[in-house]
Amino acid sequence: MITQLSNKIFVESILRYHETDNVDTPINNPYPAGQLEHLLYLKNWIDTVQWHLEDIIRNPTIDPVEALAIKRRIDKSNQERTDVVEYIDSFFLDKFSHVIPQQGASINTESPAWAIDRLSILALKIYHMEEEANREDASAEHREKCAAKLDILLEQQRDLSVAIDELLAEIAAGRKYMKVYKQMKMYNDPSLNPVLYGQKQN
At 188 the three-state DSSP class reads: coil
Chain mean pLDDT for the chain: 91
What pLDDT, on a 0 to 100 scale, did the predictor assign at position 183?
Answer: 62
CA dist 200 and 190 (Å) reads: 9
- Is residue 42 within 8 Å of residue 27, measured between CB atoms? yes
pLDDT, position 187: 58
In this predicted structure, the answer to whether residue 202 has a pLDDT above a threshold of 70 is no
Share of the chain above pLDDT 70, in %: 90
pLDDT score recorded for residue 15: 98
Q: Which amino acid is at 93?
A: L
From 101, 98, 130, select the one nearest 14 (Cα to Cα): 130
Asked whether residue 125 carries a pLDDT value surpassing 60, the answer given is: yes
| pLDDT digits 0-9 by tens, 27-54 | 999 999 989 999 999 999 999 999 999 9
Beta partners for 177?
107
pLDDT confidence of residue 181: 73
**Residue range 99-117: mean pLDDT, rounded:** 93
CB 3 within 8 A of CB 33: no
Q: Look at residue 55 and tell me whether its pLDDT is greater than 70.
A: yes
Distance CA 109, CA 198 (A): 36
Q: In sequence order, which ranges of the chain are alpha helices (DSSP H)?
A: 2-17, 36-57, 64-95, 112-133, 140-173, 194-201
- pLDDT tens string 131-148: 999 999 999 999 999 999
